[in-house]
Structures are given as structure tokens and as C-alpha cells.
Structure 1
Amino acid sequence: MSHPLLEARRLVKTYGQVHALSGADFAVHPGEVVALVGDNGAGKSTLVKTLVGAIAPDGGEILLDGKPTSFGGPRDAQALGIETVYQDLALAADLDAAANLFLGREQLHGGLLGLLGVLDKRAMRARAVEAFGELGIELRDIGAPVATLSGGQRQSVAIARSVAWASRIVFMDEPTAALGVLQRGRVLDLIRRVRDRGVSVVLISHNMPEVLSVADRVEVLRLGRRVARFAAAETSLEELVAAMTGALDTQLDAQLDAQDDAQDEGDPR
């Protein structure tokens, strides 16, 4: 397997007496879908926020392309090709799909019109049509406000917005939550399309069957630390649940500690 594209090593984050992360590890490799799973309170959200620059860890290190890095905020991560699709989608309901694709990154006309702050809506619409087409997203009316779109279509717009700007990694937080069966299937197909474009996907989900259907690997958090790593094709729903609930902790902890020690010994830094 290739070296990790983005890696967390022994991250620590505390809020008063609450240890959200207690030496958490995580890795995503180039061109893969890796699922991050764990029960409520396992530390998934906190870990993701540290990896996209939303919060700073209290300890540990984050590596990008094998080199230590730190993010002063989400824009630092975005500048390095890391985007996030949040569970609430963060779409502007009154704007159309094209405008949402360029939200915060609007294109201006050239010349005097640009100096006056006039948006180049035609160029943005053309780029949006291209972006949606590349991902196989079908919208009846790209000019309709996203508030009029179905849940699956809104989710697709949010994913397309991130993929349009991501060159390395897209984090997706519960992307199929509250969707119907048909819409969930389309979103999972979209995740595969993103991976096939060479962009890595980190999938945060409670839906274990979906995780096993779309992920290449699965990493399990419990009580603020990673307790298991699986190749999705070689594990089962029962094994994932056992890791999440602690039934496999003793065996897997010893394996992971040995792997991490070997990794540290081979680290040229």
C-alpha cells in the first residue's frame, strides 16, 4: 500500500475534564475511500475537525505527504486540496446549484465590470454544468433554487461543490443520512466516482452495510483512539460492531501498538 496522504498520529484533544481524543491515529491513502466509524462519543467529529483545520489538537501531529503540518483554519486545509461535506450541507437555499458551487469563490467579469464586483454568472453556470456532468449528477433545472431540490439532489450539489475544489481529499459526514433508498444508492455511486477521479474520500457514517459496500478500508475509533483497521472486503458487520463496542480491543490493541512501534522505528525523521 502507498504511504498515507494524510495521517494523524496520537492526537490529543481535551475539553476540560472530557478527553475527546486520547492519542488518536488515522490515515487516508491516495485514491481510496476510507470509512471512519465509531459509536457516539468515540471522537469521530473531533478527529475530523482537527484534520480539516476547524480546531487545533492539544498534542500529537498531523502529516501531509509524510511531512508534519498544521492548519490555522479550514481555509489552510482547502488551500492544500482538502474539502469537507458537512452533514447540514451548508448550502444557500435561495441560490441555485451553480451559485452554490461557487459560494465563497465567486468569479467576476474581467476588466471594469470585474473591478465593480459584477459576477460572471454565465461562466459559473458553464463550469457548474461541466462539474455536474463529470460526476454524473442530473438536475432538471440548474437555475432552480436548491430549496426546491430533493434531499439526494441537494446532497449531490454539496458533494460536487467540494469535489470541484478538492485536489486531494474530501471528508463526507453522514452523506446518506435522512435519504431514501434510491437516493442513498445514487450518493454512494457518486462517492465511487469521486474516488475514481483520484480524490480520496473519508466517509464518516453509522450505516455499516453502506460502509462495507463503498469503502476500501475501515478505521474504528473508540473512546478517543483508534482500536481497529480493516480491509472492507475482508471484514464483516459483526467484526466492525465488535471493534466499536470493545469486544476486540485486547487483541487489536496489541497488534496496532506493534504496527505503530514498527512504523516509528522506520521513520527517518
Structure 2
Amino acid sequence: MGYKQSQGNHILFFNHSSLGGVTTLIVYVDDIIVTRNNDAEKRLLSQCLSQEFEMKIVRRLKYFLGIEVAYFKNSIFLSQQKYVIDLLQETGKTTCKPVNSPISSKLICLAHIRPDIAYAVSVIIKFMHNPKQIHLQAAYHVLHFLKGITGKDILFKKHDYLALEVYTDVDYAGSIVDQRSTSGYCTFLGGNLITWRSKKQNVVSRSSAEAEFRAMAQGICEILWVNIILKDLKINIDGPMKLYCDNKSMINIAHNPIQHDRTKHRD
């Protein structure tokens, strides 16, 4: 049995393995996604849940948390176009002029399947409990950006390989307020983007190499968690897990064992 709670969206993940297969439940308030590689047991589980709760069973996933799901041959398309259009109508921004960047260099707001606004989202929510006019303008800026990219969403395509990879990067001392760096990573499974994150580091890094270390540590934690989920689902990846970064200092340290002594505090 596996379990994880997503802190940002309060989504519960349950994985259960048995001799007959693997069952996964994703629960958000009163919405539940049930997956299993055994159709008979999946139907039995749905019947058991229906006996305890009043439920409406939809056979194929079409809409969840503002995400529309479309199925094609060997691919799945995730879109938030309807959610964006509804948001623009609600805020009176349906006729706004689109912009080319999601944030001016200050704030953010919104991102289920949009890694391009992940950083923008992480900034605006810091002020959600005490917003001011400048923060509202920053949120409107994000809406203007979304107006220009409706229909550009995420496509999951079936490939002949199932490699697990993570790319990490860092904006060294990017914050002009506290000189802290912002870490970012993107995780790919079989060439498809599955998770991503952009978050300011908790401490001030004293070098670009140290900042890169922290970003890599977050990427490693993410790829290990994804691998655990895949094992629970009885899915085997092709080859070793791979971590990519573009920092020359980190690459040189990794290739030169003599320099490993300088990084023992970060083993």
C-alpha cells in the first residue's frame, strides 16, 4: 500500500498492490480517479465504493480539476483551455491583449499542466493572504499571457522506450530582495513531461555550485519518488535513472573523485 498527499492541492494518492494487479486512487474532495490493470477488480472496487457513498461513475476520464482529457491513437492530450476561458470571463479579461511572458519579474498564479507559468505561480501565492494592487496587476499579467497560449497544452505520446529522466537548473541569487536562488526541475518518463517544480531555496547559497547542489537534490528526491510509484504499479523503466544539469562545476566534481572530499557535507 502506498500513499502520498500533494501539499499544494490536497490531492491524495493511494496505491495498492495485490496478486491480481495494482489499484490506484486519486482523491480530491468528492472527485475520484480509479485505475487498475484488472478490469474486473476495478468494477468490483467501484461497486464497493458505491455501496458506501453516493457516486456517479463515469467510464472514461474526461475532466478532472479543470483539466480536460482527450484520447488519440497512442497519445493522450491534457488541456486547461476551458478553465482558462472561464477564468478570463470571470475576471473580465476575454478581450485583453495577450503578452509574451507570464511575469514581469515580480509575481504569479495558476499551474496544473503549465510548466511555463510554474515560477510565476510560486511568486503570486506568497501574497494571497494580504494582496495589494501591484499583486493584482501581476495576476492580470499572467491572465494576459494565458490568453495568448490557449490550446497549447501537454501531449502524452506512446514511445518504444520508458526512460526516467530529470533536468535541473537554478537561478543563482536571482532574488533581488534576499539574494536567494530559485531551483527548478522537470521530470520525463518515456519522453513525456510528467512533473515539474520551481521554488525559491530556503537558504542563501554562497556559490553557484552550492545552489546547483540544492537544485539537484530536489530533482533526485522527485525522481526517486516517481520510481517508487512506478514500482508500486509494477512498471519497469528502461536503463538507469538519469539526472541532467548544465553547471560545469558540478560536472567536473562528478568526474573527478579527488574533489569529492570538498562535498562530503552534502553526501
- Length-normalised TM-score, structure 1: 0.23
Instruction: Give 1 or 2 for the bigger CA radius of gyration.
Output: 2
Structure with the larger helix share: 1
Larger relative contact order (Cα-Cα within 8 Å, sequence gap ≥ 6): 1
